[in-house]
Each structure stands twice: as C-alpha cells, then as structure tokens.
Chain A
Amino acid sequence: MAYAIVAPCTGCWACMPLCPNKAIHPHGKKFTIREPLCTECEGEFDDPQCASICPVEEAIVDETGKPLNPRGSLTGIPADY
C-alpha cells in the first residue's frame, strides 16, 4: 500500500515536508516516494497529505496507477481540453 510520484511532477517541494512518514525525497529535479515508508496517511490524516497539496494533476498515483488528482480536478481546465 503506497502512492507513487510520477512524470508530471514539477518538483515544487510542497509535498515533502508534509509527509508524516518522511517517505518523500528529492530525485533529480523531481520527487519520489519510498514505497516501504508510505502508509497513504492512513491513521494519521483524513486525506493523504502529498496528494492534498500537489498542484499538478496526475502527478501522484495509487498502486493501480490511478491518479489521485485526475485531469481537470485541480486547475479547472477540462480534462478533454
């Protein structure tokens, strides 16, 4: 059970200090989640912290590869634009 940060990440640093498990680390100009440390914030917060501040759609995905912030959900720009 862990989330992953994928290609659309712009490396804005917002998520890293919020992770209660210190699972997020810089990786080149972007970031990565250390899988064994990630609890998806269960038992700690109602919402996963990284995905709650991430400004980039489709940058954080769950184990099945499904984005926590799908296209259109953050910027208001329609998904099919």
Chain B
Amino acid sequence: MPLCASSDRQRTTQHPCYTPEAREHHARLHLAVAPACNIQCHYCNRKYDCTNESRPGVVSELLTPEQALARVEAVRKRLPNLTVVGIAGPGDALANPERLWTTCRGIRERFADLTLCLSTNGLALPEQVGQIQKLGIHHVTITMNTLDPTVAANIYPWIFWDHRRLKGVEATRILIANQLAGLDALVAAGVLVKVNSVLIPGVNHDHLAELNLEISHRGAFLHNIMPMISDPAHGTYYGLMGYRGPDEAQLQAVRDGCAGEVTQMTHCRQCRADAIGLLDEDQGPTLEREWMHGHGKIISIHPHTMETEATDTLRIAVASQTGSHVDQHFGHARVFTLYDVHDGDVRQVGMVETDRYCHGDDACGDNDSLLERALRALEGCDAVLCERIGFSPWQALETAGIQPVNRYAGIEITLALKQYWATTRQRHPRQKRIRRAV
C-alpha cells in the first residue's frame, strides 16, 4: 500500500516513539496478539500474565485478532487522540504470522487512518518484509543487542530456526545475519526502522558503539539504547543470576560513546505489550477500572466461548456510541457490549464485534450476509437494546430468538437494563437453564 510522502511524515510526527514531541498529545495502543516467540533472551521471562508489572513482554490478557479489533474500536471511542497501534508481543510479532497479519489486515481495512507499527527480534524478518510492505507498515522496531556472535551467545541461550532449536554461536550467527538483512530490506523498502538495544552492563556495554555505527551506515532511523530491567522477582536469568541494569550515568556514558549519525531516542518508557494511551501515562488500568463501573470493561469475549450458568439471568447486548447510554442505531453498531442482568445486578461480561451492516440512514436490511454476521455475533443473547432498528433486522432478530428493544433509546444503560429485566423477567420467570454456546 504506497503512501504519499506527506502522509508518511504525518504518521511519523504523530508517532509518540518516533517523535518526542508527539508523546504529549498522541496516544498509542499495544495489541497483545503475539504470544509465541522464536528465541529466548536472558532478560525475558516467558510467564507473561502479570497485571502489576510494567515492562516489555508483559500483558494481563492475550487477545485474538477479533478481540484486538474490538479493542481498537473501544479505545478509539475513549481516546480520540489515538494515532498508533503497535504489536509488540508479548512474544515476537513475526513469530505469530497468522495472528499478526489477520490483525494488521483488519486494522488496515477498518481504521485506515491509524499508523501500524511492530516490534521484532529480527529472526523472521527477511522472509516477512514483503508482507510488511504490502500492509503499508512504515514503522518497525528491531531489537539488536550486539553484532558479535560470541557476546550474543551470552544474551540469547537459543533460537528456533529451520525446525530446530539451535544454541551458542551457531544460533547467534543466524540471528545477527537475519537482523542485518532485515534492516537492509526494510530500509530499501522505505520503512523507518528503530533499533532497540538493551544495555546489559558486563555483557554488551562495550559493543553498542560498534552496533550504533553499523546501523547508522545501514540507514536505521532511530537508535534506542535502553537500560535492562532485571528485578530478580521477574524470574529472568539475568535477574536471578545477579546481573543488574545500568544506572543513569552508565546509560549516559554508553549513549555518549555512540558516534553514528542515527538519531538516539532517549524518551522510551519501556512499556507493556498491552499499554494504552500517552507514552508517559499508561491509561490501560484506568480505562479498565472506569469501564468496570458501568461503562464497560473491555473484555471482548467471543460469544462462542461464553458460558452462562444462571437461574434467571438475562444476557443482553447493547448498542451504544457513548458507552454510557442506549444511543446507537442497531445497523450502525460495530460493537455490542454484553451484560448479564439479574434483578438489580447488572454485570458487564464482554463485547462482541460485528461488521456494521447498514451504511445508509434508514434503508436497513438490504445486505443479508452482513446481517447474518451480526446475528451470529449476538447468538446466545436474550435481547438487544438499541436506539433504533429497521424492520427487516427486527424480524430476523425475533426469528433468531433475540428480542429487539428500542424503547430505552437515550436512557442510561444500567437503568435501561434494570427496567428491562423488571418488565420481562418478573412477568415470565424461567426455569433454571445452562446455556453453552456451540
């Protein structure tokens, strides 16, 4: 997807990692869709399910590509300054090609104005440059820690390459060769490459100046030398074996010793693989708390994996633009928020996404296949609350056993759900049931 030069420039000036000034105004969203990795680094621990730590490689929830797109949609509603969507793990983006490319294609199709970027260790890069180009990805980060295979063998205990696990310099020679070949191919393709280097005192501190020169010659756009994080509590090899990250002075000395012409990035926040918001302020936890209180936590559970075990609980989908009120036309909704309602208890259980099937004002119902997709997404729901709805989707929903409801238009969601429960469930109490979606 070729982009014009001005659009490229704009994408870079609005990228908080590539342009320091952008970090005050432009938000980024990391989508944790890439769990697998094809190498091991001694500063990384593959247990990635932590909600409290803030460092690369850590996420609290892994997303499928579908969930990732629903998250982009939801975060965009809340953060209009969102400009960048990055895929940075928790494993290696390129070691998860199917999940990665499905996600990127979806973002390209539905959110064309957002800048896509990704991060990789570089091992699989040469074979994937074509795909990166095809999808119009103009910002790629490669983590490179040394050019010396012997030094690298002390950083990477193994790589998975050509169906085998390789160790030692046999492994690191391949890794470094692929990192450099990938860098060259990206530069030739006009992609802006940021090289991240983890400064590990006692291991690669004397090798980053050489790396800095080499990547400068090869046309890297930015060099980000960052301090290793090695808290023993994280359970990494370096952490447990007593290696420690550099202090400010050590970091500065290494940065100062780099003479290459590549610009150095010094404002990196080493963020999580599921970070949301401005660089200096991860809004992920805040947003989740906020959404929990009636405005919807983003859980994005796929309906086919959801189970309800309840005596009298209703599962209700809500079409809402604001996230707080029933204020969206059924045919305009791309995401429905799902609630389980029982008596006064309203609990948000997830979100489902569907393709918006109505592109006109009131001429709903012409495109049956998209309507069918919406029906599939809402499978298992008892009712759907929306602002308005056309005649033919109304009929289709009723036939599918889902009650369309538009009488709460403009009403606050929790209130509408409680009222709906009161008017229907009290009149028609049901037997205990267990619903298990297929």
Contact = CB atoms under 8 A, between A and B. Distances in A.
Is B truly associated with A?
yes
Nearest to B154: A76
A70 to B, nearest CB: 14
Contacts of A17: 98
A10 B46 contact: yes
A19 B42 CA distance: 26
A56 B46 contact: yes
Specify the main secondary structure of chain A where it touches its partner: loop
Contacts of A75: 40, 42, 157, 237
B160 A13 contact: no
B245 interface: no
Contacts of A52: 160, 163-165
A1 B240 CA distance: 37
B228 to A, nearest CB: 16
Nearest to A52: B165
Interface stretch (B30-38, B319-327, B403-411): B30-38
Contacts of B157: 74-76
A10 B47 contact: yes
Question: Which range contains the number of B residues in contact with the other chain?
Answer: 20 to 34
B158 A81 contact: no
A18 B164 CA distance: 11
Contacts of A49: 163
B357 interface: no
A76 B48 contact: no
Interface in A1-31: 10-14, 17-18
Given A53-B160, A53-B165, A77 B240 contact: yes
11 contacts: A10-B46, A10-B48, A11-B35, A13-B36, A13-B99, A14-B91, A14-B160, A46-B164, A52-B165, A53-B36, A76-B42
